[in-house]
């Protein structure tokens, strides 16, 4: 993506079906996955009883989300722990990678948050059916009275739509703000010094701080939605 609103796409034909995708986003997603895998491997390749600094960081991260999952999901919370930690790390690194020159956040492409949101939706439905049975899960949509079924279904879907657009809106909005700020400052000759100090501050705030907050919020909401149907 070279400009805001400009997207490079690749398409191919399978019979009458024309498939279009953003190859740049796919490349960035694989880069994020590679960074996560390599980083975790390097931090944990020499596991010992007396942990190294890298191992300590990973153990603190796992312990923290283990406690959060236990409070939110209760019994059998560790069944969901790998899924929860994976979502957090993927969204976090996807949000942070945009501060690296020539890199873009995969999460500023709506398809990426939508894919994660749909995955959370499927896990939520699976959990509801697993712990309450199919008819017990469906019964919840007819309460407190049967004619509220359409409203309950729309409300349930709406939760995941808001989850998707909250992440997309904050990441994409931050990109737009930084782009507009730089465009306005570049119109005058004396703003070079301003850009020198403002640039890192803007990227640091929207990339690191807001990126971390949105990754945490997305993960916590995912756990909350799963816990509602599970309990």
Domain-embedded: residue 136: yes
Identify the pLDDT of residue 74: 81
Q: Which residues pair with 17 in a beta bridge?
A: 14
Identify the pLDDT of residue 164: 92
Domain-embedded: residue 124: yes
pTM of the model: 0.84
Domain-embedded: residue 5: no
Identify the pLDDT of residue 219: 94
109 is in which domain, residue-wise? Answer: 10-230
Over the range 83-111, which residues count as b (16 or more CB within 10 Å of their CB) and which as e? bbbebbbbbbbbbbbbeeeeebbbbbbbe
As for how many domains the chain has, the answer is 1
Domain-embedded: residue 1: no
* Tens-place pLDDT, residues 56-67: 888 999 999 999
Output the six-digit token pair for 95.
């949000």
Domain-embedded: residue 122: yes
Domain-embedded: residue 2: no
Task: Give pLDDT < 70 ranges for the chain.
Answer: 1-13, 15, 18-20, 181-203, 230-231
* Tens-place pLDDT, residues 144-167: 888 888 898 888 888 899 999 999
Domain-embedded: residue 213: yes
CA angle 48, 52, 54 (to 5 degrees): 115
Residue keyed to tokens 């199919």:
134
Identify the pLDDT of residue 1: 42
The answer to whether residues 107 and 94 touch, using CB atoms and an 8 Å cutoff, is: yes
In a 3-state reduction of DSSP, which class is residue 76? coil
Phi, psi dihedrals of residue 3, rounded to the nearest 5° = -135, 160
Residue 41 DSSP one-character state: H
| 85/37 Cα distance (integer angstroms) | 13
Identify the pLDDT of residue 100: 83
């Amino acid at each position: 993506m070279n400009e805001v609103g400009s997207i490079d796409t690749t398409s191919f034909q399978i019979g009458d079906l024309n498939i279009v995708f953003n190859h740049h986003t796919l490349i960035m997603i694989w880069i994020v996955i590679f960074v996560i895998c390599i980083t975790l491997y390097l931090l944990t390749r020499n596991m010992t009883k007396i942990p190294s600094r890298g191992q300590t960081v990973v153990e603190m991260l796992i312990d923290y989300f283990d406690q959060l999952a236990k409070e939110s999901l209760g019994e059998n919370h560790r069944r969901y722990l790998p899924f929860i930690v994976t979502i957090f790390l993927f969204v976090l690194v996807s949000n942070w990678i945009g501060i690296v020159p020539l890199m873009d956040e995969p999460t500023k492409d709506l398809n990426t948050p939508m894919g994660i949101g749909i995955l959370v939706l499927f896990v939520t439905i699976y959990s509801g059916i697993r712990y309450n049975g199919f008819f017990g899960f469906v019964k919840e949509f007819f309460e407190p009275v049967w004619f509220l079924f359409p409203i309950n279904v729309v409300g349930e879907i709406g939760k995941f739509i808001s989850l998707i657009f909250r992440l997309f809106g904050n990441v994409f909005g931050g990109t737009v703000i930084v782009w507009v700020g730089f465009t306005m400052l570049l119109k005058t000759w004396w703003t070079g010094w301003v850009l020198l100090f403002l640039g890192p501050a803007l990227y640091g705030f929207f990339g690191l701080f807001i990126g971390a907050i949105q990754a945490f919020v997305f993960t916590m909401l995912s756990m909350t939605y799963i816990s509602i149907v599970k309990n």
